[in-house]
Amino acid sequence: MPIMRTSLAPARRRTHRVSGLTLVEVVAALALLGGAVAALILAQSRSLRQLSSADQRYQAARLARGLIQQWQLAGADVAEPGEATCTDHSGWYWRRAVQEEENARAGRLVRVQLDIVHTDARGAAGVVASYVWLESIRRGRHP
């Protein structure tokens, strides 16, 4: 005869605990994710602006270097103020300002300032690069 086991203890219920996230945890995770995405978009926007600005400064430096070399090769008198557009680059122009200076050792000099200016699509002009150097005044130009 089989032995039957009887117990006076109440039957144990097997409960399964379901692990999951509460609504508060889900909302917090979504807020964190939204903040991270917004920060990434802001960083990308800033880096694109910096890239554009660096490209403009590079282009201005190339234009200035080309102008100065062209003036040196042509023997142009850079001690005269001037302004002109850059023919090969639309939206770019240069202006040259001159200021006389006295130097006991070097004689009569002029301070030459070359500004490379860019006009954007809205029509706003701004100096992108500025270069300053000293030139001696050519003989016969001033008494």
Give residue limits of the domains in the chain. 23-136
pLDDT-derived band at 12, boundaries 50, 70, 90 = low
Contacts (Cβ under 8 Å, ≥6 apart) of 13: none
Q: What is the model's pLDDT at position 39?
A: 97
In DSSP notation, 21-49 reads --HHHHHHHHHHHHHHHHHHHHHHHHHHH
Its CATH architecture, for the domain 23-136, is: 2-Layer Sandwich (3.30)
pTM listed for this prediction: 0.66
Q: What burial letters (b/e) apply to 23-52, b meaning 16+ CB within 10 Å?
A: eeeeeeeeeeeeeeeeeeeeeeeeeeeeee
Please compute the mean of the pLDDT values over residues 103-119 and round it to a whole number.
84
Contacts (Cβ under 8 Å, ≥6 apart) of 43: none
Give first-to-last CA distance, the chain, whole Å.
Answer: 139
Inform me whether the pLDDT recorded for 109 exceeds 70.
yes
